[in-house]
Structure 1
């Protein structure tokens, strides 16, 4: 492939709520290298549909949680998440993970509220779609299966630097960009410090001397004996459900807080007792570690408006949609006494 020389653009100092316009295909192509990337971040096929559209910044993506190697929070430069923009999986085999998309500010133009749209439209660049489609794939697996590349699988390259919890400048940026309030940030830092203490105590103290058994914030404890249960309740998209209490959920989890390989953590426990509708069922997603499409033997559910808010994870703005086992939910009949107070969408709780 002929080497593509990318055009460098000055970074934008964007805040949550800013109005931006996604650049044209031609302008975006000019920023990409031969790998279809800018600063090691792919421009994915799913992003193409937004060229020329105006959207608001959801949050600054100056940091992100590492779901690959579990190193904690990692630093990312010159990137944001846009409101309502999640990957639809169209360029990645129909992956249903619906991850928030990362946008380099080099692909955006800041516009003022009320500013009229430009009447001039740049021609579509016929080279962009083939480039980004090619680079959404890696070498096939030995069995011939597709190997996918996306923002999630390539996270360690686009965010190579680990952010220590005690680098407090990250939290200043959270507040300055409008990602989080001061109170929210203080709580996130406190939870992080507590978890670090618990981790250290588990290494140096006998079990009887550890605070709450050395468990992290949320104090969840898996209580399942032997194989974790496979519970099917016939729940469907559109059903109104209540998240069970932590006490009811713990017997479905093993000591690693897993139910047949799927985790339940303190971020999810924050939603215990709340109600929401089932948005969709998940049965196939791209494995972030390998790039292989995996088909779940036991499909899981996603709830409307329920996201990971980063409350106990250094205010991570990634807004991952948790996956729920049916064992953790109970259906509420419409008009019943349990459906009087459907919960506020989770993403608004951090505002």
Structure 2
């Protein structure tokens, strides 16, 4: 069922269709997985939809394991997990899609006849795929290590492949190599990490709602809310967030709970939000393509009145 080919043609913006439930079910093993990657019940809602491909998912960062290689997978434009079947996890992860779960619309092929009864039966099976095992949650994030293989820290071929396909700019590639040399040879961090000295910093009390406008506070104001490890009650202000300082954004949604990738446990959060369009661009981690939402304590933000935004 694979349809993507290693050619110079730009894969991004290619329109594909997510296969029917019965076609997808036929690709899965007894654990609801393909090559170790789970098809999650939340993905069932995408069946039959036509979505543009964002890029290949040939490599990914896996917390605790570094960069890993994945076979025959892509990211679709803004196709994210809504967490509805995983007790409303708010991570909003960008989903991995195996090529076998997708149809290319620009290739000649014989269409299967629709079998609505079989699709309904398959959909019921997919909706009941396991979401917990051995006390932890099962999702693509918690299974990434099992669904991927190691990439040598000195192997540049995955990044060169992205440059060749137009998914990574040459400038970004050079920056990635230079950053790796700074860390591994010179022992220097790639970006400045903010840290403070607060003992029990406040999480904030803005109680922000989706659609509200905020401004990210100044570095000094943010340092006042961080401990010596750059954390606010366990949540790190990551170096990749520095670029947003001083800018204005809309709140996307409050973050109340999320599944931890390394353990599969669910943790509770408060006074924390995600911002519209603000995702990790991977600059601090060799341009990881996962585009995960960054999580912001309200104490790092300042509410902006509606009239100040021109709305």
State the TM-score, normalizing by the size of structure 1.
Answer: 0.79
The residue number in structure 2 matching 1:229 is: 202
Deviation (angstroms), 1:282: 0.9
Listed as ranges, the gaps of 5+ residues in structure 2 are: none
The residue number in structure 2 matching 1:256 is: 229
What's the CA shift string for 1:217-251, capped at 9, x where partnerless? Answer: 22224122423333323433221111123333123
Q: Does structure 2 retain, via aligned residues, the 8 Å contact 1:179–1:317?
A: no
Deviation (angstroms), 1:191: 2.3
**Aligned with 1:183 (options 158, 162, 171):** 171
Q: Does structure 2 retain, via aligned residues, the 8 Å contact 1:66–1:73?
A: yes
Change (3 A) 1:135 1:281: same
The residue number in structure 2 matching 1:151 is: 140
What's the CA shift string for 1:286-336, capped at 9, x where partnerless? Answer: 23233233222x331000000001122111110000000011111222332
Change (3 A) 1:272 1:169: same
Distance 1:171 1:324 in 2: 30
- Superposition pairs for residues 1-351 of structure 1, below 5 Å? 9-10=1-2, 12-13=4-5, 15-67=11-63, 69=64, 71-112=65-106, 120-123=113-116, 124=119, 126-130=121-125, 133-139=128-134, 141=135, 147-161=136-150, 163-198=151-186, 201=187, 214=188, 216-296=189-269, 298-336=270-308, 339=309
The number of aligned residues is 305
Deviation (angstroms), 1:138: 1.1
Distance 2:219 2:67 in 1: 26
- Which structure 1 residue ranges, 4+ long, deviate > 3 Å from structure 2? none
Distance 1:222 1:197 in 2: 24
Distance 1:251 1:217 in 2: 23
Partner of 1:20, secondary structure, is strand
Distance 2:139 2:19 in 1: 20
Partner of 2:146, secondary structure, is helix
Q: Does structure 2 retain, via aligned residues, the 8 Å contact 1:175–1:182?
A: yes
Distance 1:237 1:128 in 2: 32
Distance 1:242 1:230 in 2: 16
Change (3 A) 1:288 1:312: closer
Change (3 A) 1:119 1:328: same
Change (3 A) 1:187 1:247: farther
More strand by share: 2
Deviation (angstroms), 1:39: 0.6
Change (3 A) 1:65 1:251: same
Partner of 2:95, secondary structure, is coil
